């Protein structure tokens, strides 16, 4: 008797909630196991570096979750991750792999910054914000649209083209801040700082968390509804599942593919704008470093589902904040926390795959 | 003239690490596995080579350690995607993060430490005296020459030996491997591991021959340029080699042009020149220059039918 049949049998006698709990349990156990394995391996590495793992973990916990500033920082950092992960989830429903979040986020921020530089003192803060938001979404959508067009016209694999376009976007960003948009002649080049009136408002005075998190969470619900409750959402999943069948059923597969990828690009572009207007206020080399790739992994961890994306983004943001503790409290390089993040991902990749493939 | 020779020679030196990684990725993708962790294999290769180079005093041992470390990381990728059916993109990116973290954790003590015994320049007798060609191709360190030999070697193994045929079949028609009693899983695992070893050697060249130093994230995206070069070279070793030389040359030119004022355009748009490898590859993929056809089974897990 298979495991799923067993859980169904057990669940039959229980009420709805209990039955559900029994069904999720094996999954939870696997995920818990993966997390534990990652923590154990990381402990060994810490020991090798002469750091007491229990002390390091408890310090990480305290400085990440028990200081208000750190908790606020988690919400700030998870905002672009949620949007960036949605930018992967929408195309994924249509069977597309969008590895280009990184570039789409950068291009969105570039469009936002360009819009600000154009309007500067001639518009009110609110107007600048709206204009920046629209510009970033259009730019992100067009950048992703390049990959969509290449797929339709040339049969180019969108995973490869979106990935390559990331680096083009990065170089465009660098060109702009080193040359035409450069504001400071010496030191690390940056663009002019966003005017105060256009900076995204924070939740309360003295609080770091800005309105972006609300926008991101609303969009999680919107994307969930769009994917699961609309005709369009149904159609892109049909096109993603079996393009030939979709075509025979009279669906315009090309249009569906383009729309899914461009909406993904628009979401990523928006992430770039929100990161620009809510956190950075200027473009600089290293802007949004690896936000796109982290989002891709967060989306993968959430199995491309909108609501779990919120959890995954929270976990990644918390790990990133915990990395500061490793640096400050344990004297390790800040990017060491990448090891823990990667170990969790690898453990999940290794432990929770549904079936083994090709043992032969 | 000497400026041109200088720039081209710099292109060869700078392109070598990319070339190793691109050849490695060629082997891996020919067998049907995309490895975005190539950049990660280069990073762990660079640090391992540097550390062993410093501790043992031998750059050759360092290079071996680099290859081994790169191969190990790629082996993990192979395990996850081949045996566990994990997503190739998610696994590759996770391994990149792992490499970034590990090298930052264990590399910190090597930052700024001097490497006394890196690879030295060794002029190839006779050949280096050829005007222009000599200084461009034959006045480098031994790993550059080993790279020249790796190109025909990879070509020969992939296209002229049985083992190469098996690897390519795993990337094109995995079914027929099974029919003939070979294991798709192990064939792919071997190819991915060899690919990682080559990427590790590329990283080694960076730390113990090119820069003679270790610093955090020193590969700076070279693994991804290698990926572009592989596609630009249409998955064929010789073309991949020339793509790497071209990309290395573009990089050398852009370094040379930093802060230089050009007629008409003003200050040279260095960053846009650096975008060319990626932009050209996208254009090539679109079919404007030629047709780049990927191995058929690329990116797909192999599920045996019962």
Nearest to A89 by CA among A198, A193, A188, A220: A220
Nearest Cβ partner for B86 among A341, A349, A358: A349
**pLDDT of residue A2 exceeding 50:** no
Nearest Cβ partner for B286 among A154, A333, A340: A154
Q: List, in order, residues 6 or more apart from B12 with CB less than 8 Å away.
A: B136, B137, B140, B144, B245, B248
How far does the CA of residue A358 sit from the closest CA of chain B (Å)? 5
Say if the Cβ atoms of A300 and B90 lie within 8 Å: yes
For chain A, the straight-line distance linking the first and the last C-alpha, in angstroms and rounded, comes to 24
Give the lowest-confidence range in A31-35, B62-66, B258-262.
B258-262
How far does the CA of residue B302 sit from the closest CA of chain A (Å)? 6
Q: Collect all residues of chain A within an 8 Å Cβ-Cβ radius of residue B184.
A: 358, 360
Say if the Cβ atoms of B270 and A293 lie within 8 Å: no
Q: What is the pLDDT of residues B94-138, one digit of tens each?
A: 999 999 999 999 998 888 877 777 888 888 888 888 888 888 889
Say if the Cβ atoms of B185 and A358 lie within 8 Å: yes
Say if the Cβ atoms of B90 and A335 lie within 8 Å: no
CA distance B86 to A357: 9
Give the A:B interface size as CB pairs under 8 Å. 169
* Residue B104 contacts A, CB cutoff 8 Å: yes
CA distance A247 to A241: 12
CA distances from A210 to A78, A114, A132, A201, A275 (A): 11, 22, 16, 6, 10
pLDDT at position B175 is 84
Of the residues B90, B96, B231, the best mutation for testing chain A's interface (the one with the most A CB atoms within 10 Å of its CB) is B90
Closest chain B residue to A150, measured at CA: B286
Which parts of B141-288 fold into alpha helices (H)?
142-160, 162-172, 174-179, 184-205, 222-232, 237-257, 270-285
**pLDDT of residue A283 exceeding 50:** yes
Share of chain B above pLDDT 70, in %: 96
Say if the Cβ atoms of A150 and B183 lie within 8 Å: no
Q: What is the pLDDT of residues A114-131, one digit of tens each?
A: 999 999 888 898 999 999
How far does the CA of residue A36 sit from the closest CA of chain B (Å)? 17
Give the pLDDT band of residue B86 (cuts 50, 70, 90). Answer: confident
**pLDDT of residue B298 exceeding 70:** yes
Q: Collect all residues of chain A within an 8 Å Cβ-Cβ radius of residue B278.
A: 164-165, 167-168, 171
The answer to whether residues B142 and B148 touch, using CB atoms and an 8 Å cutoff, is: no
Nearest Cβ partner for A164 among B82, B228, B270: B228
* Residue B86 contacts A, CB cutoff 8 Å: yes
CA distance A190 to A179: 10
Mean of all residue pLDDT scores within chain A: 88
pLDDT at position A9 is 41
pTM of the predicted structure, to 2 decimals: 0.90
How far does the CA of residue B86 sit from the closest CA of chain A (Å)? 6
Say if the Cβ atoms of A350 and B80 lie within 8 Å: yes
Residue B123, classed as helix, strand or coil, is strand
**pLDDT of residue A20 exceeding 70:** no
């Amino acid at each position: 008797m298979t495991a799923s049949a067993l859980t169904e049998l057990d669940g039959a006698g229980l009420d709805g909630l209990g039955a559900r709990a029994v069904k999720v349990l094996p999954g939870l156990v696997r995920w818990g196991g993966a997390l534990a394995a990652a923590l154990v391996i990381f402990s060994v590495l810490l020991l090798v570096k002469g750091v007491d793992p229990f002390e390091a973990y408890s310090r990480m916990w305290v400085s990440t979750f028990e200081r208000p500033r750190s908790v606020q920082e988690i919400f700030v950092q998870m905002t672009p991750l949620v949007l960036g992960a949605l930018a992967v989830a929408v195309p994924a429903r249509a069977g597309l792999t969008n590895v280009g979040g990184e570039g789409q986020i950068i291009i969105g921020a570039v469009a936002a910054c360009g819009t600000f530089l154009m309007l500067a003192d001639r518009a009110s803060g609110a107007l600048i914000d709206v204009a920046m938001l629209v510009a970033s979404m259009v730019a992100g959508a067009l950048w992703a649209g390049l990959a969509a067009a290449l797929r339709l016209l040339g049969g180019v694999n969108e995973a490869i083209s979106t990935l390559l376009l990331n680096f083009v976007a990065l170089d465009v960003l660098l060109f702009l801040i080193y040359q035409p948009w450069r504001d400071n002649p010496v030191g690390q080049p940056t663009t002019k700082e966003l005017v105060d009136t256009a900076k995204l408002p924070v939740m309360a005075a003295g609080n770091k968390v800005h309105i972006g998190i609300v926008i991101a969470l609303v969009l999680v619900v919107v994307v969930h509804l769009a994917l699961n409750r609309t005709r369009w959402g149904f159609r892109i999943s049909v096109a993603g599942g079996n393009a030939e069948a979709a075509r025979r059923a009279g669906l315009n597969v090309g249009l569906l593919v383009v729309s899914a990828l461009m909406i993904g690009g628009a979401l990523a572009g928006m992430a770039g704008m929100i990161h620009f207007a809510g956190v950075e206020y200027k473009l600089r080399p290293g802007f949004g470093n690896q936000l796109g790739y982290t989002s891709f992994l967060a989306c993968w961890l959430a199995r491309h589902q909108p609501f779990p994306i919120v959890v995954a983004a929270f976990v990644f943001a918390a790990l990133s904040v915990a990395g500061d503790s490793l640096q400050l409290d344990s004297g390790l390089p800040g990017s060491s926390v990448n090891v823990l993040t990667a170990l969790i991902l690898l453990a999940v990749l290794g432990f929770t795959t549904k079936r083994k493939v090709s043992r032969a | 003239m000497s400026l041109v020779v200088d720039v081209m020679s710099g292109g060869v030196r700078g392109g070598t690490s990319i070339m190793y990684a691109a050849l490695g990725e060629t082997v891996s993708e020919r067998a049907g596995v995309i490895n975005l962790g190539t950049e990660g294999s280069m990073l762990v290769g660079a640090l391992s080579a540097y550390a062993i180079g410093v501790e043992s005093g031998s750059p050759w041992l360092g290079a071996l350690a680099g290859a081994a470390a790169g191969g190990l990381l790629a082996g993990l990728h192979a395990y996850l995607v081949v045996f566990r059916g994990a997503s190739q993109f998610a696994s590759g990116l996770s391994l990149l993060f792992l490499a970034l973290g590990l090298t930052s954790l264990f590399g910190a003590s090597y930052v700024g430490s001097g490497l006394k015994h890196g690879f030295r320049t060794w002029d190839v007798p006779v050949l280096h005296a050829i005007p222009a060609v000599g200084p461009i191709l034959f006045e480098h360190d031994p790993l550059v020459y080993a790279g020249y030999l790796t190109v025909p070697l990879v070509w020969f193994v992939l296209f002229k030996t049985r083992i190469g045929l098996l690897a390519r079949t795993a990337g094109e028609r995995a079914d027929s491997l099974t029919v003939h009693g070979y294991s798709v899983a192990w064939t792919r695992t071997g190819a991915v591991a060899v690919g990682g070893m080559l990427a590790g050697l590329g990283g080694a060249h960076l730390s113990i021959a090119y820069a003679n130093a270790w610093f955090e994230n020193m590969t700076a995206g070279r693994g991804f340029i290698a990926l572009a070069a592989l596609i630009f070279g249409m998955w064929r070793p010789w073309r991949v080699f020339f793509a790497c030389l071209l990309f290395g040359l573009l990089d050398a030119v852009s370094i040379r042009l930093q802060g230089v004022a050009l007629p008409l355009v003003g200050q040279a748009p260095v960053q846009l020149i650096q975008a060319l490898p990626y932009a050209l590859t996208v254009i090539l993929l679109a079919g404007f220059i030629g047709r780049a056809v990927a191995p058929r089974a690329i990116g797909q897990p192999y599920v045996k039918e019962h």
